[in-house]
């Protein structure tokens, strides 16, 4: 090629190169658009309150708004299936309980998601400690006395829980299996009517969260807390021993809320969401909401959430299968 020809052709090569660069897709840093955060239940519940506490601050940290969507249908299963089908790109998040996520397959028919493959653990958000409460008329001051009372001929003790397979249902059935207690299950459509009957004495016992409304009933002498379900005593009822402290072996029952992305989301995106969520958990407004709901901040690494989920699956799945618990 002669020097004159090179000079003539060079501008054409430059123009073509510019067009190629301009037309090539650019990898935009995550996130580059709003993120939707799915809550599988109606507004106003614990899951929704915690999600909305985190959302604005996490959005500020990530530089994009997090739009909370409530999808209350079919015990949250339709929302879970929606997240499972979403693109694994970090733009669809989910708040849900780690034990419920894996246990649903045993309780509900035709589950169309795989709890291990379709959801990427990001972090626990909050622990929801639970306790065993009894009506004030029950002549038992300790868990041991309550169990002994249940075994007496003609005792006819019963307990309530908001639905089959709910953590409060499973917590009592695990207690019964570990201790031989004889207590009949009365299912309810929600915690409010159940607790009205607990105060009225229509049922004698129920597992419940440790919330201010129930603490006020404890302090008014209308109900009594006999045992904490987790590994540690309750912050607001430090005088109440755990079930394990009272001789119930291998007992663990704690509620909780966790953050998930769609399964297959790149690790660097999961790590970014985790890092920002852990940082946001220290924001004064987020701490205030946890305290108001009597929840414990429980953020950690994705691997810690995966281990928590595995532990709870090992506790609850065999129990559900042995008892044949199914959604009613």
pLDDT value at position 24? 39
Task: Check residues 105 and 159 and name the one with the higher pLDDT.
Answer: 159
pLDDT value at position 9? 43
pLDDT grade for 2, boundaries at 50, 70 and 90: low
Lowest mean pLDDT among 22-36, 54-68, 153-167: 22-36
pLDDT value at position 12? 45
- Tokens representing 186 are 């009365």
- Tokens representing 212 are 């201010």
What top-level class would CATH report for the domain 35-128+254-323?
alpha beta
pLDDT value at position 294? 86
Instruction: Give the dihedral sign, CA 77/78/79/85.
Output: positive
| 130-228 fold | D-Maltodextrin-Binding Protein; domain 2 (3.40.190)
Q: What is the mean pLDDT of the segment spanning 292-319? A: 93
Q: Decide if 35-128+254-323 and 130-228 have a common fold.
A: yes
Lowest mean pLDDT among 36-45, 51-60, 100-109: 100-109
pLDDT value at position 235? 87
Residues 6+ apart with CB under 8 A from 65: 34, 35, 59
Residues 6+ apart with CB under 8 A from 72: 40, 41, 42, 79
Q: What is the mean pLDDT of the segment spanning 301-306? A: 97
Q: What is the mean pLDDT of the chain?
A: 90
Q: Burial of 57 by CB count in 10 Å (0-12 exposed, 13-18 middle, 19+ buried)?
A: buried
pLDDT in tens, 228-256: 999 899 988 999 999 999 999 989 999 99
What's the pTM?
0.85
pLDDT value at position 212? 85
Can you give the residue ranges of every domain in the chain? 35-128+254-323, 130-228
% of residues, the chain, pLDDT over 90: 73
Query: Beta partners for 258?
Result: 96, 124
- Of 44, 103, 110, nearest in space to 72 by CA: 44
Q: What is the mean pLDDT of the segment spanning 101-116? A: 89
pLDDT grade for 298, boundaries at 50, 70 and 90: very high
pLDDT grade for 109, boundaries at 50, 70 and 90: confident
Q: What is the mean pLDDT of the segment spanning 298-314? A: 95
pLDDT value at position 75? 80
% of residues, the chain, pLDDT over 70: 91
Res 23 pLDDT > 60: no
């Amino acid at each position: 090629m002669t020097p004159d020809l090179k000079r003539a052709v060079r501008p054409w090569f430059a123009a073509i190169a510019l067009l190629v660069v301009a037309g090539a897709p650019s990898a935009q840093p995550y996130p580059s658009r709003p993120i939707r955060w799915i809550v599988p239940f109606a507004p106003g519940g614990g899951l929704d309150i915690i999600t909305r506490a985190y959302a604005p601050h996490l959005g500020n940290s990530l530089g994009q708004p997090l739009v909370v969507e409530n999808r209350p249908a079919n015990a949250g299963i339709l929302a879970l299936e929606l997240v499972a089908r979403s693109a694994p790109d970090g733009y669809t998040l989910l708040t849900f309980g780690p034990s419920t996520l894996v246990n649903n397959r045993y309780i509900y028919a035709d589950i169309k998601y795989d709890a291990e493959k379709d959801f990427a653990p990001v972090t626990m958000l909050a622990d929801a400690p639970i306790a065993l409460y009894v009506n004030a008329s029950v002549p038992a001051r300790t868990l041991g006395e309550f169990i002994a009372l249940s075994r007496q001929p003609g005792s006819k003790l019963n307990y309530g829980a908001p639905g089959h397979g709910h953590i409060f249902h499973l917590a009592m059935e695990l207690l019964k299996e570990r201790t031989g207690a004889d207590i009949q299950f009365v299912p309810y459509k929600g915690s409010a009517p159940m607790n009205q009957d607990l105060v009225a004495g229509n049922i004698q016992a129920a597992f419940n969260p440790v919330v201010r409304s129930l603490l006020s009933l404890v302090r008014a002498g209308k109900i009594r807390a006999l045992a904490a379900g987790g590994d540690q005593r309750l912050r607001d009822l430090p005088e109440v021993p755990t079930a394990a402290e009272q001789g119930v072996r291998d007992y663990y029952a704690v509620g909780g809320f966790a953050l998930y992305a769609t399964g297959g989301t790149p690790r660097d995106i999961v790590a970014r969401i985790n890092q920002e969520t852990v940082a946001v958990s220290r924001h004064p407004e987020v701490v205030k909401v946890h305290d108001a709901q009597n929840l414990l901040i429980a953020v950690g690494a994705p691997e810690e959430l995966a281990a928590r989920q595995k532990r709870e699956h090992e506790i609850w799945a065999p129990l559900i299968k042995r008892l044949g618990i199914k959604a009613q």
